[in-house]
Chains A and B, each alone.
Chain A
Amino acid sequence: MTPRDVAIRACRDALRIPSLVLISGFIGFGSLAHESGLDLSLALISTVIVWSQPGQVAFAELSAAGATALAIVLAVSLANARFLPMAVSLMPLLRPGLKRKAWLYLYAQLLSVNSWAGCQRAFPQLPSESHHIYFVVFAAVCMTGGVIGTLLGYFATGALPRPVALGLVFITPVYFAMLFAGNRARPVVVALLAGAVTGPILFTVSPDWGVLATGLLAGTGAWWFTRDSA
């Protein structure tokens, strides 16, 4: 496969379900931003520089509610702790074929659940030197979808029938659930089940620290109990 073939394939894969999911998911964020009194430019820029739907939703809600700056930054940051293990587990796969490793620091900004999961699916069928090309193209299409969704959502506030607007917001969790349920590797299946049970419980205990604690507890437990089967 030439680099061009890989880029075309990444573009095609991303334009299927991921871009639709991102557009609809970010329609939810765009309309929330409008309702929360944020500027359109601020909403669009936040999609590019934060690039995390849960984090951006927390930002819009907390700033509209008049939370303190420290509380907002802490909540957004902790909601996004997943990027640390996601980057650690994806970047080693992007290194082959990449001449300047410093690019990885830019690539990290493009990283999202969609591109991470999309790469996990596609990489086994691609030569390892072309992984970084696949990632950049796939992730760039995803981010473009997010920006388009934010724009649509900002102007569509109130124009959509309420049940449809709610359905669009529901796409993100349903899609991710289906995407992860396709995994068959035993450590991953155990980690997913443990995380799905632990996550809501720990979120009730601490909305800020819940995600991080879930990853460490459920992830470590799953890894420990499946070590021999990996």
Chain B
Amino acid sequence: MTEGVGIWALLLMAALATYLWRGLGVALSTRVQAGSALFQWVNCVSYAMLAGLVARMALLPIGSLTEVPLVDRVGAMTLAFVVFFVTRRSILPGVLAGVISLIIVTSIRAG
């Protein structure tokens, strides 16, 4: 268990290690023209990373969502997508459908 000054030093290192990517991105961006082939490639890499991260958060969560069975998470996410496309791509109804269905199923399982 890390305590006292140690945890603050650790947080600072974690923050710097995160900023490294942000700062490097700004530095590299000066050589990238909006709309160029390089720009398109970086855009694809960003979207792929974010989609990978979201899929990971839903399918293989870390933290409290591990308490929810996989089938419930996938079911709630599927319902969210169905509502999203049925409502002609409106975000709010999709999100509400996913979250509320997860809460209901989790409550039922808890008895």
Contacts and interface: CB of A to CB of B under 8 A. Distances in A.
Interface of A: 17, 21, 28, 32, 37-38, 42, 45-46, 49-52, 54-55, 57-59, 61, 63-64, 66, 69, 72-74, 76-77, 80-93, 101, 104-105, 107-109, 111, 113, 116, 161-183, 187-188, 190-200, 202-204, 210-212, 214-220, 222-223, 226-227, 230
Interface string B44-72: 11111111111111111011110110000
Most buried by B among A52, A80, A93: A80
Contacts of A163: 102-104, 106-107, 110
A202 B52 CA distance: 9
A32 B64 contact: yes
25 contacts: A17-B92, A46-B15, A50-B11, A59-B14, A66-B1, A76-B17, A80-B18, A81-B21, A89-B32, A90-B29, A104-B26, A164-B103, A166-B67, A167-B103, A174-B76, A175-B91, A181-B85, A182-B89, A190-B44, A191-B51, A195-B52, A200-B56, A215-B52, A218-B51, A219-B41
A174 B46 contact: no
A91 B42 CA distance: 12
A73 B52 contact: no
Given A17-B92, A174-B77, A64 B45 contact: no
B60 A196 contact: no
Contact of B59 (A86, A200, A215): A200
A189 to B, nearest CB: 9
A72 B77 contact: no
**What range describes how many residues of B lie at the interface?**
35 or more
Nearest to B52: A199
Most buried by B among A55, A170, A216, A230: A170
Contacts of B47: 180, 183, 188, 191-192, 195, 219, 222
Interface string B1-42: 110000110111111011111111110111011100101111
Contacts of B65: 166, 169-170
Nearest to B59: A200
Given A88-B28, A174-B99, A215 B8 contact: no
A216 B45 contact: yes
A227 B42 CA distance: 13
Nearest to B92: A17
A222 B102 CA distance: 32
A111 B45 CA distance: 17
Contact of A215 (B2, B45, B94, B106): B45
Contacts of B62: 57-58, 61
A174 to B, nearest CB: 4
Given A88-B28, A216-B45, A230-B40, A64 B51 contact: no
Contacts of A17: 91-92, 95
